[in-house]
Amino acid sequence: MQLTHLDDNNQPNMVDVTLKEDSSRVATASGIIEMSRSAFDDIINKKAKKGPVLQTAIIAAIMGAKKTSELIPMCHPLLLTSVKCESEELPELPGFKLIVTVKLKGQTGVEMEALNGVSIGLLTIYDMIKAVDKTMVIKDIRLEYKSGGKSGEYRRH
């Protein structure tokens, strides 16, 4: 099997998408950060010393999605048409879940952009509340859904 990121001489190669048709592409990824009750309460009660944690994490997730090609070596720079991030409170952990959905009309998918957005958003939460809890765990970063392109639709069950 020929790997798409290696050329005939086994050298790294960004996939050539020149001849691929544009299609509408969507990807949604999610991830969780688990933390102490006191860190969770500080975020919920807006008492974090570094400012509004969830709002800042959402901005960071959007920025992370937009900068994916600068961080992941073989990702194409993309003209994203939409990046949305939602946060969910998970008081039973305690913690939060971030869900990032990325869209474009183009020649390559946006799965990595959604995954990178989630990762950067969760890391931002960690950074902003680490003075309260250094034991936080970032986990379950995963693709939830993708559509468009040759491989079609995927939905996690």
> Which has the minimum average pLDDT: 3-7, 70-74, 119-123?
3-7
127 is a catalytic site residue: yes
Q: How far from the centroid of its chain's Cα atoms is residue 45's Cα? A: 25
Backbone angles phi, psi at 106, to 5 degrees: -170, -165
Closest to 93 (Cα-Cα) out of 132, 130, 139, 61: 139
Alpha carbon distances (Å) from 55 to 12, 40, 122: 38, 14, 12
pLDDT in tens, 110-146: 999 999 999 999 999 999 999 999 999 999 999 999 9
Q: Name the CATH code of domain 23-148 (choices 3.30.70.640, 3.40.50.700, 1.20.200.10, 3.40.30.10).
A: 3.30.70.640
Side chain identity, residue 127 = D
Q: What is the pTM of this model?
A: 0.92
Percent of the chain exceeding pLDDT 70 equals 97
Kindly name the residue from 41, 42, 127, 133 that is annotated as catalytic: 127
- Whether 108 contacts 78, CB under 8 Å: yes
Pairing state between β 137-147 and 23-34: antiparallel
Identity of the amino acid at 22: D
Phi and psi dihedrals of 150, rounded to 5? -65, -35
